[in-house]
Structure 1
Amino acid sequence: MTPHTPAVDGRTRHYGHFYGLGEPEGDGPVAVVIGNCQAESLRVALDGGGLRTVRTPAVHELVTADLPHLDRWLARASVLVSQPVRDDYHDLPLGTRQLTARLGAGARVVAVPVVRFAGLYPTSAIVRPPHDPSLVPPLVDYHDLVVLAEAAARRDGTTPPVPRLDAEAVRSVAALSLHELRKREQAHDAVVASDLFDDPSFEQMRTLNHPGNPVWTALASRVRDRLGLPDHVVDPGRQLLDSVHAPRLQAVVDAFGLDDEATDHWIVEGTQVPREEVREAHLRWYEREPQVVGAGLARHADTLALLGLA
């Protein structure tokens, strides 16, 4: 069934080709890239050089009305590049296995990992509380494990632990993070990204899950290599996934021998937000959302122990 073209608004203009408002440039085979917010950056780095890519909403933003448009592109696609997505994600047939089944004959599938590397931001964490996985703290969506431990101590009426923030602890967190990334790569036969962080730099990651351009260039090259396509380097003319930058700790600079200076602020949409302002806002928020504290302590127990916060 041919999908209806939706009313033109900001969303449909942004994803115009996906909704049938024109065709992607070029005449090569179509590639669809599916995943979280990282997928669009990878798509940009893959575009051209024998591939026509389609800007597609992130998988968590797709709704029922989008399915006919997605199916139209899957039927046309010669390549599906996908982060691992479980079956019936958000109660929709968006799992990687389900998407693969809707591809045309002869289409190829390449798995890519969700890239998370905590070595450059060892106290940063993501918490998805079971009672509401969409719940995020104010100002920045990331949790600071030092602040989380402080919130737990306030809740329990105890003295907050003193964090162990030295080069050895940073390298231990990095090793744990790389171990988890390698497990994800191996479990899904995904293109390898973990070795990119053998010698990490802040250019590679803006936050623990927002890679910079060097990572996207390398990952796109490896996807192309798996597909047997000639090398093709894209200069997007801008920094990808650049909206949020986490503070840079001196312990990280020391651990990896970096030339960068430590910072004590976040950058959110180009505006500096002091780390202390974020800490205070998060502590107030944890008082209103105590379940998040428990979920964070459980989810990140190993890292908390490495940082002396358990």
Structure 2
Amino acid sequence: MIADPHTARRDHYADFFGDLPRTGYGVVVGNCQAESVRLVLDTDDLPLLRVPPVYELDAADTARLHEVLAGASALIAQPVKDDYHGLPLGTRQLAASLPPAGRAVTFPIVRFTGLYPFQAALHVPGTEEVPPIVAYHDVRTLAEAGGLPIRDTMGADAVRAEAADSIAELERREQQLDVGVSDLFAAPGFDLVRTVNHPGNAVILEIGGRILRALGRPGEATDPGRPLLDAVHAPREDWVIDAWGLDTAPQPMWRVNGDGVDPGEIREAHLEWYRRNPGFVRGALERLRPTFERWRR
């Protein structure tokens, strides 16, 4: 008998919804990157409960999270604004539920566009759907949908400028956090990020080690022996490889759950999706206006 989705979800997060350890546990809160950080830090000395990603939490989940934090020794969190989704899920709000001896450490949401300059992970208010096949937008395809002429490739200087802007944004976001990662992207390579917002093991492990040091704990993060955030790999385009002088072969296909997917198939599927969602296209074009100005033909 197949369990209903509610039961399956509670089973998947059994440590969070079930009986808690008496002491000594922690939680990692954030987006999909947070679960990967939890995996490299979870030990017998600091067991870390698996928590649903913050964007999935409802009012009951949020109340449970505050209850869990009341007995936790550590909160490891990506930054979340106060009253996120109308719920007390802000990082400061969560940290306030820790016991007096509890420690809170913040680390950034990793997003780096220097290896995928035309890729965007976008949310437009009022549009909850995501495009088919991959939840990433190719700015070239968006421009086509909006009737805007932009380049198909960039020169090396433009690629490096895009990377510099991306690092500067990471640095800006890190200023109020306990752990930074922007320095890791000074010499870009595809081992660092699989898409603009899915870092590879090398980055996750370094984040984990820096969190341990911020907590004042010994040891290092532990590689789980498998690739993390591995479901989607974006194409590696030859002009990006040339811009960085990388010793790697181009990979023209997307890889989705282990299968190769032709970018042309994704382009056609996304163009159709844009035709059905003109409100998204209008919002995305407005949000990306500086990008289009910079890259237009």
TM-score (norm 1): 0.89
| 1:192 matched residue in structure 2 | 180
State the aligned residue count: 293
Aligned match for 2:124, one of 126, 129, 139: 129
Q: Does 1:183 align with 2:172?
A: yes
Residues 82-127 of structure 1: CA deviation (Å, up to 9, x unaligned): 1111111112111111111111112111111110001111110022
Aligned match for 1:81, one of 58, 76, 80: 76
Are the aligned partners of 2:20 and 2:68 in contact in 1 as well (CA < 8 Å)? no
Alpha carbons of 1:130 and 1:18: their partners in 2 closer, same or farther (altered >3 Å)?
A: same
Residue 195 of structure 2 aligns with an amino acid whose one-letter code is T
| 1:13 matched residue in structure 2 | 11
Residue 281 of structure 1 aligns with an amino acid whose one-letter code is A
| 2:287 matched residue in structure 1 | 299
Aligned match for 1:224, one of 202, 209, 212: 212
Q: How many angstroms does 1:214 deviate by? A: 0.4
Distance 2:32 2:20 in 1: 23
Aligned match for 2:136, one of 142, 154, 158: 142
| 1:209 matched residue in structure 2 | 197
SS class of match (2:242): helix
Stretch deviating more after TM superposition (282-291 or 203-212): 282-291
Are the aligned partners of 1:30 and 1:77 in contact in 2 as well (CA < 8 Å)? yes
SS class of match (2:224): coil
| 1:255 matched residue in structure 2 | 243
Are the aligned partners of 1:163 and 1:307 in contact in 2 as well (CA < 8 Å)? no
Residue 147 of structure 1 aligns with an amino acid whose one-letter code is T
Q: Does 1:239 align with 2:245?
A: no
Distance 1:8 1:63 in 2: 13
Are the aligned partners of 1:43 and 1:53 in contact in 2 as well (CA < 8 Å)? yes
Distance 1:28 1:120 in 2: 43
Are the aligned partners of 2:79 and 2:106 in contact in 1 as well (CA < 8 Å)? yes
Residue 19 of structure 1 aligns with an amino acid whose one-letter code is F
Residues 21-71 of structure 1: CA deviation (Å, up to 9, x unaligned): 575xxx972221110111100111111273211110000111122234312
Are the aligned partners of 1:206 and 1:242 in contact in 2 as well (CA < 8 Å)? yes
The percent identity for this pair of structures is 47
| 2:146 matched residue in structure 1 | 152
Are the aligned partners of 1:49 and 1:232 in contact in 2 as well (CA < 8 Å)? no
Q: Does 1:60 align with 2:55?
A: yes
| 1:282 matched residue in structure 2 | 270
TM-score (norm 2): 0.92
Residue 149 of structure 1 aligns with an amino acid whose one-letter code is A
Are the aligned partners of 2:40 and 2:224 in contact in 1 as well (CA < 8 Å)? yes
Structure 2 stretches lacking a partner, 5+ long: none
TM-align CA RMSD: 1.9
Q: Does 1:48 align with 2:43?
A: yes
| 1:162 matched residue in structure 2 | 151
